[in-house]
Homo-oligomer: A and B are copies of this chain.
Amino acid sequence: MQALRGLCAFPITPADAEGRIVEADLRRILSRIVRAQVDSIGLLGSTGNYAYLPLDERRRALEIALDAVGGRMPVIVGVGALRTGDAEALARHAREAGAQGLLLAPMTYQPLTADEIVTHFARVAEAGGLPLVIYNNPTTTRVTMDVALLARLAALPHVAGVKMPLPAADAFEAEIATLRDALPAGFVIGYSGDWGCSRALMARADTWFSVAAGLWPDTTLTLSCAASAGDAASTRQAEERFQPLWDLFRRHGSLRVIHTAARLMDLTETDPQPPVLPLPDSELPALRAAIRAMER
């Protein structure tokens, strides 16, 4: 599906301590993304703190975003929830509100069986009736999706793509070949984990699901285009300025880093939702340096 290819920017979702969306901040962050003309927006991903926001505020965030974007690019939205019924309700709302696609992670408390995961995805995909991207993120869901499980999920109606975590030892070519072989023709295979995604694109992945693009869409688009074109020299050059940021992402998790960066850049005064805390003060000098590098 074309809407799911290229660079997908994941904005933070600015919200106050009670979880209420700060509309002006969300619009400000989205306007930067829209102006940069990336390929799509991934609202309420892990970076968008979806797992920690009240359900009614998640609906409100989507409505604000769709209004702010005004159809200028596709908006796909995270509808993951521990309760299947909650995820179904969010998926129905997303379609009614006018979203272009869904992201669904198998959030877990009880370790789930493969059958439970497949049943959950089938019900949510059916409720939404929109192209759905499997959110394969073992760091947050603790679900390790093997190729057999991905193939079962990809065979469900509406399931159109997968957001993969970075493979071990940078084995993008082998992994993408295995996935293309096991998954339906045209199935979208994208990656997250910003620091590895230029290599994913050079190995012909379809999509980069990017945290950095939520805050620096222009700079990230430059890198994404170079990597998608297979231009190794330009990719290396474009990527240089990202290194201090990648380093902080790896050490603290991208959510804490990017949310604190947005605050330092005066785009919001909000913090991540507790229990998640902002980056420790001791890292603010390193973060300021990383921001300067991105804006050089």
Contact = CB atoms under 8 A, between A and B. Distances in A.
A235 interface: no
B85 A17 contact: yes
B115 A19 contact: no
25 contacts: A18-B85, A46-B109, A46-B110, A51-B109, A51-B110, A52-B83, A52-B109, A52-B110, A53-B83, A83-B275, A84-B273, A106-B275, A109-B140, A110-B140, A110-B255, A111-B139, A111-B253, A112-B275, A112-B276, A113-B277, A116-B274, A116-B275, A116-B276, A116-B277, A123-B274
Interface residues of A, number: 37
A263 interface: no
Nearest to A112: B275
Nearest to A105: B109
Given A123-B274, A140-B109, A142-B142, A85 B19 contact: yes
Contact of A274 (B119, B255, B273): B119
Nearest to A84: B274
A82 interface: yes
A111 B285 CA distance: 24
Interface of A: 17-19, 46, 51-54, 82-85, 106-107, 109-113, 115-117, 119-120, 123, 139-142, 253, 255, 273-277, 280
A2 to B, nearest CB: 30
A106 to B, nearest CB: 8
A38 B197 CA distance: 56
Contacts of A19: 83, 85
A106 B115 CA distance: 26
A277 B51 contact: no
A273 B113 CA distance: 14
A117 B84 CA distance: 26
Nearest to A276: B110
A274 B120 contact: yes
Q: Kindly name the residue among A53, A82, A255 whose own CB sees the greatest number of chain B CB atoms within 10 A.
A: A82
Contacts of A17: 85
A171 B117 CA distance: 34
Contact of A277 (B109, B119, B141, B276): B119
